[in-house]
Structure 1
Amino acid sequence: MFDPVTLLQELVSIPAPPGQEGLLIRVIRDKVSALGLTSEVDAKGNVWVRLGPQDERTPIVITAHMDELGLMVSRVEPDGSLAVTPLGGVDPWKWGEGPVEILCREPLPGILSFGSVHTEDPSSVAVQARGGELTWDHSHVLTGLEPEDLEAHGVRPGTRVAMARSRRTLTKLGDWVSGYFLDDRADLVAWFLILEQLKDVEVDHPLLFVASASEEVGGEGALYLLNQVRPAICVALELGPIVPDTPAEICDIPTVWAKDSFAAMDSRDLDLIGELGLDVQWQVLSRGGSDASCAASHGLCARPVTFGIPMENSHGYEIIDPGAMESLAELTVAYLRAVTKSL
């Protein structure tokens, strides 16, 4: 039996930027095995777990993504500092200055830096940021090493840079928990809770559970997977952002993305969810996408469904009600049981 918050802390603690999810893949596969289930990993790094009858019918796909927002080295400077570029929609002000981990052969420490503030020199980042937007071009990662030392460690353009493990401890705020990368590690917790609920019960339709890779950089993992499977229905487990134009509350009631930047849900699914008798928070997002909606926009699934954990500070130090992980699992199981009867 998984304890959701304990599992969440374990998953958050593991660096897994897009294209370098290997450490997390091993943990996920171990936990799948502990449930008595088998998994496989495809060429893109997606973890597959199959439930239900394995017949000629196309499975319903349920995804939660493994990867997190990160950085990539774009240039090694003569002084040994690193220029970086973002992997995914991460803003520099969401991370701020602090320790990072350079994911080379043996991970190296670094400090994400924007420079000192005690100046009026127009060439300084501090002066530029006071009068305009702070961008990743203003940042650098200090390493304390010479370029030749970095080269010997395998640091080069393309090396990933992740949030340091020292910054990955969850913080309790009353009934809430907060931390980096709850998107999508909290949803991975729900994904495990769903597997735990369904593994020993009879399932009428083939189900394919996927811990997807590289979602933060355009849903690459899901696109690779769904191009092979072409399911009628893909269910993505996501965040439900707390935003002013489609309000939601931090609580244990999941959100439903009726529409996002990429696709709108089919009215059949909206009606079915409304008839489940469970509380949900409906959202029409002006920005964002999920594995399901990105795939639908490419014609790779017919009916995208996205459920979210209500979350403040998306893509930063995120805050949730931990009860939402179990509620998201409950909603997903109820939806799967109802929709399989109509297929």
Structure 2
Amino acid sequence: MEELLRPDRLYDLISELVMCHSPSGAEAEIDRYLLAQFANLELEHWQDAAGNIVAKIPGPKNNPASNSAIAITAHKDEIGAIVKSINQYGQIEIGKLDGSFPWVYGEGIVDLLGDRETISAVLSFGSRHISHRSPQKELQTSKALSWDDAWLETKASPQKLAAAGIRPGTRMVISKHRKQPFRLSEDYVASYTLDNKASLAILLTLAEVIGQTNGQPKTDVYLLASANEEVGAIGAMYFSNQRSLDALIALEIIPLSCEYPIEDNDAPVLLSQDAYGVYDENLNRGIAQIAQDHKLALQFAVLNSFGSDGSIAMKFGHVPRAACLGFPTENTHGYEIAHLGAIANCIRLLYAYLK
């Protein structure tokens, strides 16, 4: 088990996942990767009508708990932007998709995921050597940058863009040119889209650990790479409405901020409440007890401006119990930084809990 949790191995797996584009609603690239990984692990798996990738690990058939099931989710979509219009010069007006902000990306290369071809463009805010006669002057003096002030320069004709399948509704993401993760000291990974590619690494490694150790869980477990989480937890809502689940545990990044009592170390974080409601206290106590029994440090937090597959599914009555387990992360929804040890400890804790 410990060989699978080495920082080098987790970093390599996260790097592979990050390089698969997956803006909400245009997740085909990460879908292909995940389906191949679950096939290699010889798990029963499928893609459902909502776009979720699901792998099932069965519990013992003669166990009374086998009538129930638990889902562990990690959403596979990432934040980005969406094309609104294209002018005669091939300049593209874009709008917000999910929790993205243009100042987080800065000017630079982005990818447009066309229906037939991916086209690179430059996220642009305009020149600096200007006076008040230019509208972007106020961005230097008094106004916060928004998507309304940004555009994409493609230097391509509208005809060429149309041939690539670039149209209103096309998704924009940070380009692979800028996406390669960076190893920040021995313990940290820094990258765009650790939300939620690092949680997918937890999901895949957990499946591999269970298979390698023959660690059959106490009940049926669904490993759910959920679709469209950033735009309303659509995939998890669909899945939890279709299946009878005893509990759902969402894997997430957890924001580091002065307003939250979270330390930047290798201890996972368990949430008690977020913007969508409270998590199940008995489920949290059970997870915390397992952490204590296995001498795994665990942090607790209440968050604002945050939601997960778990809190949203529980709020709408799709699951009776939900929890959210994650790893402390700097710069959430930006160029994120996370402790590889905290990611590994999420896997250790989940493995112990499932047994």
Normalised to the residue count of structure 2, the TM-score between the two structures is 0.91
- How far apart, CA to CA, are the structure 2 residues paired with 1:173 and 1:126? 36
Q: Structure 1 residue 173: deviation in Å?
A: 1.8
Residue matched to 1:293: 311
Question: Are positions 1:261 and 2:308 aligned together?
Answer: no
Residue of structure 1 aligned with 2:258, choices 235, 238, 244:
244
Q: Structure 1 residue 122: deviation in Å?
A: 5.0
Question: Are positions 1:155 and 2:155 aligned together?
Answer: no
Bigger drift between 296-305 and 197-206 goes to: 197-206
- How far apart, CA to CA, are the structure 1 residues paired with 2:96 and 2:350? 32
- How far apart, CA to CA, are the structure 1 residues paired with 2:155 and 2:244? 49
Residue of structure 2 aligned with 1:63, choices 54, 73, 79:
73
Residue matched to 1:9: 15
Aligned residues: CA RMSD: 1.6
Question: Are positions 1:24 and 2:30 aligned together?
Answer: yes
Residue matched to 2:147: 136
Residue of structure 2 aligned with 1:221, choices 235, 241, 244:
235
Question: Are positions 1:95 and 2:105 aligned together?
Answer: yes
Residue of structure 2 aligned with 1:306, choices 319, 324, 331:
324
Runs of 4+ in 1 over 6 A off after TM superposition: none
Bigger drift between 230-239 and 126-135 goes to: 126-135
- The verdict on how the C-alpha distance between 1:126 and 1:252 changes in structure 2, with shifts beyond 3 A counting, is farther
Q: Structure 1 residue 233: deviation in Å?
A: 0.7
Deviations 1:87-119 (A, max 9, x none): 111111111111011111111110011111111
Q: Structure 1 residue 33: deviation in Å?
A: 1.5
Deviations 1:223-275 (A, max 9, x none): 11111114231100001110222121222111111110112122212322332
List gaps (5 residues or longer) in structure 1.
Answer: 338-343
Residue matched to 1:327: 345
- How far apart, CA to CA, are the structure 1 residues paired with 2:106 and 2:89? 22
- How far apart, CA to CA, are the structure 1 residues paired with 2:205 and 2:277? 27
- How far apart, CA to CA, are the structure 2 residues paired with 1:120 and 1:309? 45
List gaps (5 residues or longer) in structure 2.
Answer: none
Q: Is the 1:263–1:304 contact (alpha carbons within 8 Å) kept by the matching residues of 2?
A: no
Q: Is the 1:122–1:128 contact (alpha carbons within 8 Å) kept by the matching residues of 2?
A: no
- How far apart, CA to CA, are the structure 1 residues paired with 2:117 and 2:281? 50
SS at match of 1:286: coil
Q: Is the 2:52–2:235 contact (alpha carbons within 8 Å) kept by the matching residues of 1?
A: yes
SS at match of 1:215: coil
- The verdict on how the C-alpha distance between 1:244 and 1:330 changes in structure 2, with shifts beyond 3 A counting, is same
- How far apart, CA to CA, are the structure 2 residues paired with 1:194 and 1:54? 18
- How far apart, CA to CA, are the structure 2 residues paired with 1:229 and 1:54? 19
- The verdict on how the C-alpha distance between 1:84 and 1:129 changes in structure 2, with shifts beyond 3 A counting, is farther
Question: Are positions 1:198 and 2:210 aligned together?
Answer: yes
Q: Structure 1 residue 129: deviation in Å?
A: 5.4
What is the count of residue pairs matched by the alignment? 337
Residue matched to 2:180: 169
Residue matched to 2:136: 125
Deviations 1:120-163 (A, max 9, x none): 22542242453122110111011001212212221110111111
Sequence identity, in percent? 34
- The verdict on how the C-alpha distance between 1:46 and 1:78 changes in structure 2, with shifts beyond 3 A counting, is same
Residue of structure 2 aligned with 1:42, choices 22, 41, 48:
48
Q: Is the 2:60–2:218 contact (alpha carbons within 8 Å) kept by the matching residues of 1?
A: no
Question: Are positions 1:73 and 2:83 aligned together?
Answer: yes
- How far apart, CA to CA, are the structure 2 residues paired with 1:285 and 1:137? 29
Q: Structure 1 residue 335: deviation in Å?
A: 2.6
- How far apart, CA to CA, are the structure 2 residues paired with 1:211 and 1:263? 22
- How far apart, CA to CA, are the structure 2 residues paired with 1:60 and 1:131? 50
SS at match of 2:230: helix
- The verdict on how the C-alpha distance between 1:320 and 1:126 changes in structure 2, with shifts beyond 3 A counting, is farther
Q: Is the 1:120–1:127 contact (alpha carbons within 8 Å) kept by the matching residues of 2?
A: no
Q: Is the 1:233–1:304 contact (alpha carbons within 8 Å) kept by the matching residues of 2?
A: yes
Residue matched to 1:316: 334
